[in-house]
């Protein structure tokens, strides 16, 4: 139990820290919404190291705390939608026996972006930002792939040391 609590703390702290690092790095792209999704490394890893339920808690805690710390209330709805949708999609892929951490991460990246677009449409009351979906799907695949590779190496490192 104590070990599990410690893991929760470490993963949550790492996820929040990753979110901060990402907020500090400016993304030099003219299209809103393109990002790497560093904190997803932690969520994906958590899914494999601790379990799917635990990854869900970490994801929610991360979103709420980093919204309070760095982004504010509007950002919270945004991130929550992205986190919920991407978690759901990642869970589905995770359940498939033949998918690896890379497939999970790619799915997460894409659905995170889709979730955010949907909330942006609801908040703005206009469907205009939908045209960003194809671009953000491609960027989600690219970012998710990179995150997946990093997670894969982290995972084999963690598993060796357990």
Partner 1 sequence: MKKLDFIIIAVLLVCAGELYFSGILRPGSEGAYAVVYVDGEEVKKYDLSKNTDDTVTGINGTNQIRVQDGKISVVSADCRDQICVNHLPINRENESIVCLPHKVVIEIENGGKNSIDAVVQ
Distance CA 51, CA 73 (A): 29
Q: How far is the CB of 49 from partner 1 (least distance, A)?
A: 19
CA triple 36-104-87, angle to 5 deg: 80
Q: How many alpha carbons fall within 13 Å on the CB side of residue 126?
A: 4
Closest distance to partner 1 from the beta carbon of 90 (Å): 11
Cβ 17 to partner 1 shortest distance, Å? 20
At 132, list the tokens: 């960003």
Q: Which is nearer to partner 1, 5 or 125 (CB)?
A: 125
Q: Based on CB atoms, which residue is closest to partner 1, 59 or 116?
A: 116
Binding site residues, partner 1, CB under 8 A: 30-32, 72, 74, 78, 93, 96, 98-100, 102-103, 106-107, 110, 120, 123-126, 128-131, 133-135, 137-138, 140-141, 145, 152
The secondary structure of residue 137, as a DSSP letter, is H
Burial of 17 (0-12, 13-18, 19+ CB in 10 A): middle
User: Which CB atom, from 59 or from 105, has the smaller least distance to partner 1?
Assistant: 105
Nearer to partner 1, 14 or 110 (CB): 110
């Amino acid at each position: 139990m104590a070990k599990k609590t410690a893991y929760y703390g470490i993963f949550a702290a790492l996820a929040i820290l990753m979110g901060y690092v990402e907020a500090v790095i400016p993304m030099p792209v003219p299209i809103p919404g393109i990002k790497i999704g560093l904190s997803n490394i932690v969520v994906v890893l958590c899914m494999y190291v601790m379990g799917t339920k635990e990854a869900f808690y970490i994801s929610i805690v991360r979103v709420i705390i980093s919204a309070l710390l760095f982004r504010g209330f509007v950002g919270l709805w945004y991130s929550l939608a992205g986190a919920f949708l991407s978690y759901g999609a990642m869970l589905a892929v995770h359940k498939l026996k033949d998918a690896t951490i890379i497939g999970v991460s790619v799915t997460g990246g894409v659905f995170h972006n889709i979730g955010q677009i949907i909330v942006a449409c609801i908040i703005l009351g206009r469907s205009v930002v939908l045209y960003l979906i194809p671009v953000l799907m491609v960027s989600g695949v690219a970012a998710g792939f990179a995150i997946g590779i990093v997670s894969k190496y982290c995972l084999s490192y963690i598993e060796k040391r357990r």
